[in-house]
């Protein structure tokens, strides 16, 4: 059998997929996140490499059945997890189109419409940042990435290239001093990883203390910058976060922008999670100050309900994309008409899939306002849960939630931090034992907390009430 399938089989497979996805999506409001603890299988698969094939429908049925039975269901309404959403169904349709048509976005010449869709999506997002030139016209540009990690890496690469002429060609050895990046101690580890990959070293990242609600402290940041300047270091970039991974804390971007201007530094905002709110007119408390940033990361595969993968990096300095990533190759087709700049010249990738199409299609189907309603609804759910915790005799909030992540601690127990952490782990173990729902334990500023995130658009008060009941029950186990 070749890879080609005949029309009746293709149609039958399409029907299988449509029916499978339809019943899977029907099940999501009540679906367990994973098998119960005793049913979970940790052993690796041990199939030999298939020498001969099998019937495609049988292969598809076997796999889809097993993926449901033994899977971990991030899309479940009971997943209070790590920023991974229930994918919007139209986005799933978009992904099917992308994998079937396989557009190659590296160059405009080879995939014009898909490239235009990506460019248009970037334009839609960039316009929402509030970046304007002196005449008030929108400015800026960006590129889709594999996720927030690559988006943050790309932003820091631009910041470095912007601050140190010659670094792209001559490397970090051409910089006469140690470049330094300043971030919250609660920032995502992709900043440290990027600094390592960019060759300035992970120690080039200075982690600044946060306030009791996990926002970076700009005064402490300024002290660190001044101290480094006195030691002939090269402060070049400030990273603020809107929506920290542990707590969803939203840094004061306006104050960070004042610092960045004062010390002539690039301001990057990691909005992998909270940056989604640029699609809203109602959530100014999240997006305040974004118009002052030099670059922004947004991860549609988080709060924008896109399936993996889709990240975006935006910058007000459109020219920095090409200055940082531009290369020329002889094997590029030469277009005979002037086209927008090729994607491979403005991103870390060469071959690239169309990660924008699913977001474009979802926006086209549901409109921007559906996202605004989604954020409003999710924040309300988180706030209602927070109110419950505030009135509880058994749990307390470790910090006030800015977005949809709640950090809980067991209340009124006489335990040191290690004992409390063990207690929290035992509670999380108990709550997740049946497989019905999923929460996690983490540390904020070294302090143990139980982390609950509202992220699925299918999650309702009922799911959170059931979780609250499970949390209470776990206390007496």
Ligand X SMILES: Cc1ncc(COP(=O)(O)O)c(C=O)c1O
How near is the Cβ of 470 to ligand X at its closest, in Å?
A: 24
- Rule CB under 6 A: choose which of 86, 143, 241, 280 binds ligand X: 241
Q: Which of 80, 236, 273, 344 binds ligand X (CB under 6 A)?
A: 273
Candidate residues 33, 77, 83, 314; the one interacting with ligand X per rule CB under 6 A: 83
What interhelical angle do 357-366 and 89-101 show, nearest 10?
A: 140
Determine how β-strand 440-444 pairs with β-strand 447-453: antiparallel
Residue partners of 334: CB distance under 8 A and separation at least 6: none
Q: Answer yes or no whether residue 147 interacts with ligand X by CB under 6 A.
A: yes
**Rounded Cα distance, 112 and 124, in Å:** 18
Closest to 432 in 3D by CA, of 33, 17, 64: 33
Residue with smaller CB distance to ligand X, 309 or 365: 309
Contacts of 146 (CB under 8 A, 6+ apart): 309, 311, 349, 355
Among 154, 190, 362, 432, binds ligand X (CB under 6 A): 190
Query: Which residue of 141, 149, 154, 432 would you call a contact of ligand X, by CB under 6 A?
Result: 149
**H helices present in 141-296, as ranges:** 148-163, 167-170, 190-197, 218-230, 253-262, 284-287
Indicate whether 407 belongs to the interface with ligand X (CB under 6 A): no
Q: Say whether residue 80 binds ligand X (CB under 6 A).
A: no
Shortest approach of ligand X to residue 275 CB, angstroms? Answer: 9
Report the nearest approach of ligand X to the CB of residue 444 (Å).
13
Task: Please list, in sequence order, all residues whose beta carbon lies within 8 angstroms of the beta carbon of residue 381, skipping any fewer than 6 positions away.
Answer: 404, 454, 459, 460, 461, 464
Residue window 340-379: x/- pattern of binding to ligand X, with contact defined by CB under 6 A: ----------------------------------------
Q: Does 157 bind ligand X (CB under 6 A)?
A: no
Query: What is the rounded CA–CA span in Å between residue 304 and residue 196?
Result: 29
User: Closer CB to ligand X, residue 167 or residue 356?
Assistant: 356
Give the chain's end-to-end CA distance (angstroms, integer).
57
Asked if residue 280 binds ligand X (CB under 6 A), the reply is: no
Q: Is cis: bond before 103, omega within 30 of 0?
A: no
82/426 with CB nearer ligand X? 82
Residue 311 near ligand X by CB under 6 A: yes
Please tell me whether residue 307 binds ligand X under the rule CB under 6 A: no
Nearer to ligand X among residue 83 and residue 125 (C-beta): 83
Q: Considering beta carbons, is residue 188 or 374 the nearer one to ligand X?
A: 188
* By CB under 6 A, residue 441 contacts ligand X: no
Q: Is 285 helix (H, G, I), strand (E, B) or coil?
A: helix
Q: Among residues 31, 73, 188, 423, which is the contact residue for ligand X, using CB under 6 A?
A: 188
Q: Which residues contact 134 (CB under 8 A, 6 or more apart)?
A: none
DSSP run (H or E) holding 268: strand 266-271
Q: How far is CA 190 from the centre of its chain?
A: 11
- Kindly give, in sequence order, each residue whose CB lies less than 8 Å from that of residue 432, ignoring residues fewer than 6 positions away: 33, 34, 37, 438, 439
Name the minimum Å distance from CB 11 to ligand X.
Answer: 35
Structural tokens at position 203: 């120690």
Among 299, 342, 436, 441, binds ligand X (CB under 6 A): 299
Q: Answer yes or no whether residue 155 interacts with ligand X by CB under 6 A.
A: no
For position 432 contacting ligand X by CB under 6 A, the verdict is no
- Contacts with ligand X, 22-61, as mask; x by CB under 6 A: ----------------------------------------
C-alpha closest to that of 70 among 343, 341, 435: 435
Residue nearest to ligand X (CB): 148
Three-state DSSP class for 183?
A: strand
> Residue 300 or 435: which CB sits closer to ligand X?
300
Does the protein bind ligand X through residue 272 (CB under 6 A)? yes
Residue number with CB closer to ligand X (154 or 362): 154
The residues that touch ligand X, with contacts defined as CB under 6 A, are 83, 147-149, 152, 188, 190, 241, 243-245, 270, 272-273, 299, 311
């Amino acid at each position: 059998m070749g890879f080609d399938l005949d029309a009746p089989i293709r149609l039958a497979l399409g029907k299988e997929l449509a029916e499978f996805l339809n019943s899977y999506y029907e099940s999501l409001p009540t679906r367990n996140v994973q098998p119960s603890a005793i049913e979970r299988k940790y052993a690796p698969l041990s199939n030999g490499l298939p020498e001969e094939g099998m019937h495609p429908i049988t292969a598809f049925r076997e796999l889809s059945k097993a993926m449901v039975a033994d899977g971990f269901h991030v899309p479940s309404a009971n997943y209070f997890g790590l920023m991974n959403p229930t994918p919007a169904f139209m986005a799933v349709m978009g992904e099917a189109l992308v994998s079937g048509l396989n557009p190659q976005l590296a160059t405009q010449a080879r995939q014009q419409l898909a490239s235009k869709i990506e460019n248009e999506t970037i334009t839609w997002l960039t316009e929402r940042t509030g970046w304007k030139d002196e005449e008030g016209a929108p400015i800026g540009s960006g590129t889709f990435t594999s996720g927030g990690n690559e988006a943050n890496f790309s932003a820091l690469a631009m910041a470095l290239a912007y601050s140190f002429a010659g670094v792209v060609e001559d490397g970090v050895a051409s910089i006469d001093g140690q470049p330094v990046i300043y971030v919250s101690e609660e920032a995502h580890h992709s900043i440290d990883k990027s600094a390592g990959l960019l060759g300035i070293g992970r120690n080039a990242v200075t982690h600044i203390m946060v306030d009791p609600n996990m926002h970076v402290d700009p005064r402490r940041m300024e002290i660190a910058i001044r101290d480094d300047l006195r030691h002939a270091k090269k402060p070049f970039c400030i990273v603020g976060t809107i929506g920290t991974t542990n707590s969803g804390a939203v840094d004061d971007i306006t104050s960070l922008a004042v610092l960045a201007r004062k010390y002539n530094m690039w301001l990057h905002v990691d909005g992998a999670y909270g940056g989604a709110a640029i699609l809203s007119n109602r959530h100014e408390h999240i997006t305040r100050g974004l118009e002052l940033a030099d670059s922004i990361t947004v991860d549609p595969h988080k709060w924008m309900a896109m399936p993996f993968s889709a990240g975006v990096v935006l910058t007000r300095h459109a020219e920095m994309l090409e200055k940082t990533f531009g290369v020329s190759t002889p094997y590029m087709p030469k277009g005979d008409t002037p086209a927008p700049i090729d994607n491979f010249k403005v991103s870390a990738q060469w071959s690239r899939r169309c990660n924008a199409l699913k977001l474009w299609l979802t926006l086209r189907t549901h409109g921007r306002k559906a996202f605004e309603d989604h954020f409003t609804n999710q924040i309300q759910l988180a706030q209602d849960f927070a109110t419950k915790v505030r009135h509880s005799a058994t749990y307390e909030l470790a910090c006030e939630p800015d977005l949809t992540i709640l950090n809980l601690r067991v209340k009124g127990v006489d335990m040191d931090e290690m004992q409390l952490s063990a207690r929290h782990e035992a509670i999380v173990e108990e709550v997740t034992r049946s497989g019905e729902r999923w929460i996690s334990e983490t540390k904020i500023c070294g302090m143990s907390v139980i982390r609950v995130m509202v992220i699925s658009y299918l999650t309702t008060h009922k799911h959170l009430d059931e979780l609250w009941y499970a949390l209470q029950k776990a206390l007496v186990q």
